[in-house]
Chain A
Amino acid sequence: MFDRRLIKNFDWGFAILIFLICSVGLVILYSALTAGQDAGTVHILFKKQVIWMGAGFLIIAITVMIDFKELDKLNLFIYTLCVGLLISVIVFGQLGGGSRRWLVIGFVRIQPSELMKIALVISLSSVYSTSVSQTGLNFTRLIKPAVLCMIPFVLIVNQPDLGTGLLLLLIAGSITLFVKVERKVFFTISGMGLAVAPLVWFSLKDYQKFRILTFLNPDRDPLGSGYHIIQSKIAIGSGMLTGKGFLKGTQNALSFLPEQHTDFIVSVLAEEWGLVGCTGLLILYFLLLLWGVNIAYNCRNMFGSILAFGITTMIFWQIFINIGMVMGLMPVVGVPLPLVSYGGSSVITNMVGFGILLNISMRKFSPN
């Protein structure tokens, strides 16, 4: 049943690249943890992350076993399951930082909004693989994808987690543009968006406006996110060309950056390893993304191509939003950096994604 050719076709290069980024991630995480926590906590958190990554590789191993084309058949089931989890978060969810995002099953805390990203990519790939055409999609063909998108979006934004909600839209939008929409459709939707935006804006309450403006421009909140950004910029800038050296960062003490081991981890890398280290990580990520695009190109199955592209897009947006935010180019949103930020949900989700990519890569020669 298990084809030997599959092992021969296993994409070792991609797997090694993932392993490399994980290792770099752990090194940076160690720095970030030591600066802000006492020795005992560092040990616990670091060990946890190593375990998560180990589990991640296990998940990769499991994911590559099942032919990705099964995902096409199961797409609606996976999607419904994840939406179900999102709804149960509303009912049973655990509060954390003022929003309800976590679901506790036994001793594991999961964040269904993370899993939803993968589920949505699979569902959209499935829908688009049958409807894609060189002339582009028309309105009627976009109705189903739009519905698939809006259900989880509304649920996630209400948690409230605006960042993840918007990330979902960005991923879905990118995939949709990739499979091409009719020019007419593109301009109509863009035009409608521009027309409706002011109406929505004026119907908002003052405090809601303030929140959105702060989201777009952290400087408006100099005591909150604005302060984090300025500290983050100081940390990054002070790294200069070669950095201050491993564990020699001074800026990342707890009182400056509250989430240095999660969302602001790049500032630790930049401070200790300088421009050289940052460029290294950027290159690794760029290779990762190109590899993903290449997998999409080499796959002979339309569903597989779109799926590979979709997963790559998901990784891309996370990297761009996270690094952009830390450097003050992007709004302050809680998007973790793939394989580097601390956090189980993020590691697992991304590992599932990489597993799917490896899966597609292995089976690129089987057309149907």
Chain B
Amino acid sequence: MSEFSKNPDKEWIKQRLIVASVCVLLVFVLLFLRLVYLQIIKGEEYRLLSEKNAVRLKSVKSSRGLIFDRNKTLLVDNRPSFNLKIVLEDAGDVKETVQKLAELIQLPFPELMQMIARAGKGAFYKPVTLQTDISREQLALVESHKFDLPGILIDIEPTRYYIYKKTAAHLLGYLGQVNSQELKTGKYPHVRTGDAIGRYGIEKSFEIYLQGKRGGRQIEVDANGRTIKILKTVEPVPGFDVNLTLDLELQQTAEKLFGNRDGAVVAIDPNNGDVLVMASNPSFDQNDFIGGISSKKWKALMSDPGKPMNNKAIQAEYPPASTYKIITSLAALEENHIDRYSTAYCPGFYKYGNRVYRCWKKHGHGEMNVINGLAQSCDVFFYQAGEKVGVDTLAQYALGCGLGKRTGIVLENERKGLIPTSIWKKKRYNEVWQGGETLSIAIGQSYNLVTPLQMAVFMAAVGNGGTLYRPRIVKTIEDNHGQVIQKIDPEITGGLPASKDTLDIIRSGLLKVVQGDRGTARSIRLKQVDIVGKTGTAQVFSMAKGEKIKTEKLRYGLRDHAWFICYAPAENPVIAVSVIIEHGEHGSSAAAPIAGALIDQYIRKMSSEETRWE
């Protein structure tokens, strides 16, 4: 073997092992010298630092991203909050110190001790929060007695501030303290125990953008735990700012017009789906949630029959009532069961089988075509149209118009509503569909359910020529230098299943609702602009035949809901509005004026902006 001659001998291996051993020796000498340096040369210095336990880590909270409206008006800000903390290691006799503190600023002693107990064993050197957001008076007292209160310190940390109390509360949302289960999921890598995270609305949906990143400091402290020197700093990264499509002024108007009535308003721009207004009444004060809402306030919110914690614009489902007649006429026209000129006679009722279906107008509308039918909201015309279309075809059109499914707005818990079909009824109740039920469906009663947002999106599509947009609430996300991190473009989700002719017929009908002499909403007519819309009165309770009770006497909870959906101007619309007032009784008298006022304000605002630009 030729290999054998080159085969290493003992001597060769010995040499290589000696070289290796020398390397090891050198490394060990290096380690030894390092030990000498740390323990002998710098030993004294380190001994001192260790005796005081003097180098600490201090976390620095980042400030959460701000939220602006479409005109860059600040809606949600951060303000400084003075948080009272204790470092147990420095506090000496903890009980005594806390007792003194409790007496000084009048806080319950047991609660403070509970905060300490909750922090657990590992927290000896870490500041434990005793009380967040103390008042200026308390702050002054603590500061002036700080030498009697070892280990007590005050951190100034940013906290959330909702500038316009109760305004758009459901849309903006609120914060709540993160819990240990959420921390364990790993979804919030930069969040620590005690931090707040978005719990509702935009605050929740855009949590990862708004959050920012904690920073921290290595600090050297003296025997009382007071900072002597900052050794190293990592600056916190502020969260990104969110620019909404919301119009603050319009939103405030809508909320003011609501007064103490319950319901919701949504206004969107038909050209891109931008949400201009989203109000839900009653509302709540988001500032109450900062630092944990008191159980008394929480109970009051939960037991309120008006359900203030529900965003009615997306979570409440109502029968669409007469607003649904738009869908019925659209389906009937598209399916060629009727045309612009076909008429039906309304004597005030319609006989189907052996039942009589009444029109809301007792003495009847007389001869009706689709345009006047919409304008005067004649039930009999749509009973007949609906009967011809049939429940399942009608449902297909409704789905095509964006009903019965989520609009896709980036808010949690949006509801789908309900568009019934014969199969649905079979599944749900195990019953066969009755022809008479189709008549009720055709005028928007019975099983149908829609959300105010769905109706706004639909109405916007009627106005813009048939394009359904996904409602957009956030336009851009920016960093704190104003650089755009993410831009959210308008998104088309579909088109109305209607030809241009069909839409034209429907529009002229809806125009007459406000502009026609007999239109159901003629009272809100504006001078400067034509409004195109539809009223609706949704029955909460169907009265027994022939029974007539004065509505004032009717219990509030049984009164009808009032709808109004519309857009304006008639040509090239700029705003679509959907209003529902719970137990408001008549769409024309309760809901329509709110929409009218919003449109009036918005159009004025736009034209004044235009003149400014010229």
Contact = CB atoms under 8 A, between A and B. Distances in A.
Contact of B234 (A223, A241, A286, A305): A223
Given A238-B43, A255-B122, A286-B28, A222 B36 contact: no
Contacts of B59: 223
A88 to B, nearest CB: 23
Contacts of B226: none
Given A289-B24, A297-B14, A329 B34 contact: yes
Given A132-B8, A237-B42, A255-B126, A180 B16 contact: yes
B45 interface: yes
Contacts, number: 140
Interface in A239-280: 239-241, 250-251, 253-256, 270-271, 274-275, 278-279
Given A222-B218, A282-B32, A240 B12 contact: no
B495 interface: no
B53 interface: yes
A83 B122 CA distance: 39
Contacts of B216: 222-223
B20 A309 contact: yes
B28 A293 contact: no
Interface string B232-248: 11100000000000000
B contact patch SS: helix
Contacts of A279: 32, 35
Contact of A293 (B21, B27, B35, B121): B21
Given A135-B6, A305-B13, A293 B39 contact: no
B21 A290 contact: yes
A235 interface: yes
B20 A178 contact: yes
Contacts of A254: 121-122
A236 B124 contact: no
A240 B218 contact: no
A296 B17 CA distance: 8
A227 B57 contact: yes
A286 B25 contact: yes
Contacts of B124: 253, 255
B302 to A, nearest CB: 38
Interface string B202-235: 0000000000000110100000000000011110
B485 interface: no
A282 B31 contact: yes
Given A222-B234, A235-B50, A227 B218 contact: yes
A79 B368 CA distance: 89
A8 to B, nearest CB: 23
B22 to A, nearest CB: 11
B3 interface: yes
A234 B49 contact: yes
A237 B46 contact: yes
Interface string B107-128: 0000000000000011111100
Given A223-B216, A293-B21, 13 more contacts: A38-B121, A222-B233, A223-B57, A223-B59, A223-B215, A234-B46, A234-B50, A237-B38, A271-B50, A275-B40, A278-B39, A297-B17, A316-B27
28 contacts: A132-B8, A133-B3, A133-B8, A134-B6, A134-B12, A178-B16, A180-B16, A222-B216, A223-B57, A223-B234, A227-B218, A230-B55, A230-B218, A235-B50, A237-B46, A240-B47, A253-B53, A254-B122, A255-B123, A255-B126, A270-B35, A282-B35, A285-B28, A293-B21, A297-B14, A302-B8, A309-B20, A324-B34
Interface of A: 38, 132-135, 178, 180, 219, 222-223, 226-227, 230-231, 233-241, 250-251, 253-256, 270-271, 274-275, 278-279, 282, 285-286, 289-290, 293, 296-297, 302, 305, 309, 316, 320, 323-324, 327, 329
Interface of B: 3, 6-8, 12-14, 16-17, 20-21, 24-25, 27-28, 30-32, 34-36, 38-40, 42-47, 49-51, 53, 55, 57, 59, 121-126, 215-216, 218, 231-234
